Amino acid sequence: MVTRYLGAPVRRNEDPRLLTGRGNFVDDIQIPGMLHGAFVRSTHAHARLKRVDVSRALAAPGVHAVYTHGDLGPLGDPLPPLIPHPTLKHHKTQYALAPDKVRYVGEPVAFVVADSRYLAEDAADLVEVEYEPLPPVVDLEAAAEPGAPLVHEDAGTNVAAHYTQRVGEPDRAFAEAPHVFTERLVMDRGCAQPMEPRGVVAHWDPRLETLLIWDSTQAPIPIRNGLARLFGLPERAVRVIAGDVGGGFGPKIMMFYPEEIMVPLAAMRLGRPVKWIEDRREHFWATNHEREQIHDAAIAVDDQGRIIAVRTVFLHDAGAYIPYGLIVPVVASTTLPGPYKIPNYHAEFKAVFTNKTIVSPYRGAGRPHGVFVMERLMDRVARELGIDRAEVRRRNLIQPDEFPYDVGLIYQDFAPLIYDSGNYPAVMDRALAMVGYDRFPEEQARARREGRYLGLGVANYVEGTGIGPYEGAKVHVEPSGKVLLATGVGTQGQGHYTSLAQLVADQLGVDVKDVHVVTGDTGEFAWGTGTFASRAAVVAGSAVYLAARAVREKALEVAARLLEASKEDLELEGGRVLVRGAPQRAVSLGEVAVAANPLRGTIPEGAEPGLEATRYFGPPRGSFAAGTHAAVVEVDPETGMLKILRYVVVHDCGTVINPMILEGQIHGGVAQGVGGAYYEKLVYDEGGQLLTTSFMDFLIPTAMEVPDVAIGHVETPSPLNPLGIKGAGEAGVIPVPALVAQAVEDALAPWGVRVREMPLSPVKVRELVEGSRREAPA
Amino acid sequence: MAATRTVRVRVNGTLHEREVEPRLLLSDFIRHELGLTGTHVGCEHGVCGACTILWNGEPVRSCLALAVQADGAELETVEGLAPDEERLHPVQAAFVEHHGLQCGFCTPGFLMTVVAFLRENPDPDEAEIRRAISGNLCRCTGYVNIVKAVKHAARSLRARAPAGASAAPAGR
Count Cβ atoms within 10 A of the Cβ of residue A710 and give its class: 0-12 exposed, 13-18 middle, 19 or more buried. Answer: middle
Give the SS3 label for residue A373.
helix
Tell me the whole-structure pTM to 2 decimals.
0.96
Q: Give how far the C-alpha of residue A398 lies from the chain's centroid of Cα atoms, to the nearest Å.
A: 26
Amino acid found at A407: V
Q: Cβ of A664 and B24 within 8 Å?
A: no
Contact A579, A566 (CB under 8 A): no
Minimal C-alpha gap between A21 and chain B (Å): 4
Contact A545, A500 (CB under 8 A): no
Alpha-carbon torsion (A152, A157, A158, A164), positive or negative: negative
Q: What is the pLDDT of residue B170?
A: 37
Chain B, 34-63: which have a CB under 8 Å from a chain A CB? 35-45, 47-48, 50
pLDDT tens profile A1-42: 355 899 999 999 999 999 999 999 999 999 999 999 999 999
pLDDT > 60? residue B118: yes
The proportion of chain A whose per-residue pLDDT surpasses 90, expressed as a percent, equals 92
pLDDT tens profile A392-426: 999 999 999 999 999 999 998 888 999 999 999 99
CB atoms within 10 A of CB A141: 11
Instruction: Answer whether B7 touches A (CB < 8 Å).
Output: no
Question: Could you tell me the pLDDT band of residue B75, with boundaries at 50, 70 and 90?
Answer: very high
Q: Residue-wise over B123-141: b if at least 16 C-beta within 10 A, else e? A: ebeeeebbebbbbbbbbbb
Cα nearest neighbour of B50 on chain A: A195
Q: What is the pLDDT of residue A778?
A: 42
Contact A646, A632 (CB under 8 A): yes
Minimal C-alpha gap between A618 and chain B (Å): 27
Q: What is the pLDDT of residue B167?
A: 41
Cα nearest neighbour of A12 on chain B: B96
Q: What is the pLDDT of residue A658?
A: 95
In this prediction, residues A662-672 reach a mean pLDDT of 96
Structural domain boundaries of chain B?
A: 5-80, 90-160
Q: What is the pLDDT of residue A29?
A: 97
In three-state form (DSSP H/G/I as H, E/B as E, the rest C), the secondary structure along A238-275 is EEEECCCCCCCCCHHHCCCCHHHHHHHHHHHHHCCCEE
Contact A26, A200 (CB under 8 A): yes
Strand intervals (E) in chain B: 5-11, 14-20, 52-55, 58-61, 74-76
CA-CA distances (angstroms) from residue A420 to A428, A467, A716?
18, 12, 10
Q: What is the C-alpha separation between A159 and A696, in angstroms, rounded? A: 34
In this prediction, residues A352-364 reach a mean pLDDT of 97
The proportion of chain A whose per-residue pLDDT surpasses 70, expressed as a percent, equals 99
Q: What is the pLDDT of residue A773?
A: 62
In this prediction, residues B107-135 reach a mean pLDDT of 98
Q: What is the pLDDT of residue A290?
A: 94
- Nearest by CB to residue B48, choosing from A61, A195, A672, is A195
Q: What is the pLDDT of residue A529?
A: 87
- Any idea what the Cα angle at residue A104 is, between residues A130 and A679, rounded to 5°? 135
Q: What is the pLDDT of residue A351?
A: 98
Q: What is the pLDDT of residue A490?
A: 86
pLDDT tens profile A439-486: 999 999 999 999 999 999 999 999 999 888 999 999 999 999 999 999
Contact A582, A545 (CB under 8 A): no
Long-range pairs for A683-686: beta carbons < 8 A, 24 or more residues apart: A684/A138, A684/A189, A684/A356, A685/A138, A686/A136, A686/A138
Domains and CATH numbers, chain A: 15-21+468-617 (3.30.365.10), 31-386 (3.90.1170.50), 397-467+622-778 (3.30.365.10)
Chain B positions in Cβ-Cβ contact with residue A192 (cut-off 8 Å): 139
pLDDT tens profile A152-169: 999 999 999 999 999 999
For residue B119, give the H/E element and its range: helix B107-120
Q: What is the pLDDT of residue A598?
A: 87
pLDDT > 80? residue B166: no
Q: Give how far the C-alpha of residue A110 lies from the chain's centroid of Cα atoms, to the nearest Å.
A: 30
How large is the ipTM? 0.96
Cα nearest neighbour of B21 on chain A: A118
Q: What is the C-alpha separation between A558 and A489, in angstroms, rounded? A: 31
First vs last Cα of chain B: how many Å apart?
58
- For chains A and B, count residue pairs whose Cβ atoms are closer than 8 Å: 184
Minimal C-alpha gap between B33 and chain A (Å): 11
Contact A179, A385 (CB under 8 A): yes
DSSP state of A436: T
> Angle formed by the axes of helices B90-97 and B144-160, to 10°?
140
Q: Which of A87-96, A348-357, A511-520, A528-537 has the lowest mean pLDDT?
A: A528-537
Closest CA to A231 of A97, A79, A91, A107: A79
Under CATH, what is the fold of the domain B5-80? Ubiquitin-like (UB roll) (3.10.20)
Cα nearest neighbour of A27 on chain B: B37
pLDDT > 90? residue A583: no
Contacts of A119 (CB under 8 A, 6+ apart): A36, A60, A61, A62, A63
Chain A positions in Cβ-Cβ contact with residue B24 (cut-off 8 Å): 118
pLDDT > 80? residue A769: yes
Q: What is the C-alpha separation between A85 and B86, in angstroms, rounded? A: 52
pLDDT tens profile B43-68: 999 999 999 999 999 999 999 999 99
Question: Could you tell me the pLDDT band of residue A336, with boundaries at 50, 70 and 90?
Answer: very high
Give the SS3 label for residue A44.
coil
Under CATH, what is the fold of the domain B90-160? DNA polymerase; domain 1 (1.10.150)
pLDDT tens profile A220-230: 999 999 999 99
Question: Could you tell me the pLDDT band of residue A775, with boundaries at 50, 70 and 90?
Answer: low
Contacts of A607 (CB under 8 A, 6+ apart): A554
pLDDT tens profile A740-761: 999 999 999 999 999 999 999 9
